[in-house]
Amino acid sequence: MRISFKKASPRQLEIMVWVFVFLVTFLSYLSMDGPLQALIWGVLNMGFTAAIIYGNIGLLFPRLYEKGRVALYIVASVALLLAVGVTRTFVSITLYNRYFAKQPETMDVWRYLYNSVAGIAVFVLSFVFRIAMAYFRIKRQAEEMQEQKSQAELNLLKSQVQPHFLFNTLNNIYYEAYRESPRTALLIGRLSDIMRYFVDESPREKVSLATEIKFLENYIALEEIRIRHGVTVNFDQEYDGDPMLPPMLLMTFVENLFKHGIDRGAAGNTICLSLIQQDGHLLFTTENALPENAPTPIKPGFGLQNLERRLNLLYGSRFVLNTTRTETHYKAFLKIPLV
């Protein structure tokens, strides 16, 4: 496995630190004690050093000091150093006397105390180790976030290229169709406008009311071609200037008109839409005659439920959404603030 220092993960860097600690001890003993003894002392030194460092930064510091139990942390730290020092002294002298010593060494209090006190330096270095590992983790996270940002920007550029390629193709088809069938060309143009709305306008927080109305008119025109006997559309509009509103708020009502309010096998279908600006509010109403024997829905459709959830997020209690159904007609009403 190849490890690049620049792209190494915090875990890989941690492993490299311990390999370095082992090699320093191993090489320092190699010339005097030979490879086997140097190997054993290297492993022991690395193990007891790790016990102090991880015992502090992985157990005592987060569970005691960071929770405000400072006195208990100090006591536990002293106990950790004594435990590691005593164990290290006992294991080292036992192994040395059994396998390597020509003359056995004695275990005395000073040896235990020396190794315990020597652990203080390692204990202090554990904080440096903790800070270093935290730095490399944060640095790695920052690099990953930058890579994700760059990938997102690349994907955005790609997503912009694809729709515009499609728009250009639709424009070419439009001009070709205009020669043979101007009505077909007009519908292609409306479809192109709808797709451009989805790509350019719908991701925005707000769009102009004129843009939203144009989108609805294009959608209505495309839906009309599916109705065999035609449909009469009355769309009344009364507003000043060009107020702004969140995109796609009115679309659910218009979809429902063509989904539930049209008898595709009958003539004389009529749908009415009214859009009025009044006292800083936008009032939008749709009404349609119900087809004969139209089933009564048990509960509102998902479209209206999703719209109501969105309105709650956008306006809280500052909106009105009503639907009224009689034996012959269905009416929907929406009132939202324009500020």
CA 191 distance to own-chain centroid = 32
pTM recorded for the entire structure:
0.52
Using alpha carbons only, what angle is made at residue 107 by residues 104 and 110, rounded to the nearest 5 degrees?
Answer: 135
Q: For residue 186, give Cα distances in angstroms to 28, 33, 159, 181, 258.
A: 86, 92, 26, 9, 21
Q: Reduced to 3 states, what is the DSSP secondary structure of residue 245?
A: strand
Per-residue pLDDT, 77:
93
Q: Tokens 């500020």 belong to which residue? A: 339
Q: Tokens 């554990």 belong to which residue? A: 126
Per-residue pLDDT, 165:
56
Per-residue pLDDT, 105:
80
Per-residue pLDDT, 51:
93
User: Is 91 buried (19+), middle (13-18) or exposed (0-12) by CB count in 10 A?
Assistant: middle
Question: Rounded to an integer, what distance in angstroms lies between the CA atom of residue 45 and that of residue 95?
Answer: 13
As averages over each run of 10 residues, the pLDDT of the chain (339 residues) reads: 58 86 88 87 91 92 91 93 91 87 80 85 90 85 81 60 59 71 82 82 88 92 82 92 90 86 79 93 92 63 84 92 88 91
Element of type H or E holding 277: strand 269-278
Q: Which CATH superfamily is domain 181-291+300-337 in?
A: Histidine kinase-like ATPase, C-terminal domain (3.30.565.10)
Per-residue pLDDT, 257:
87
Whether the CB-CB separation of 104 and 97 falls below 8 Å is answered with yes
Per-residue pLDDT, 178:
73
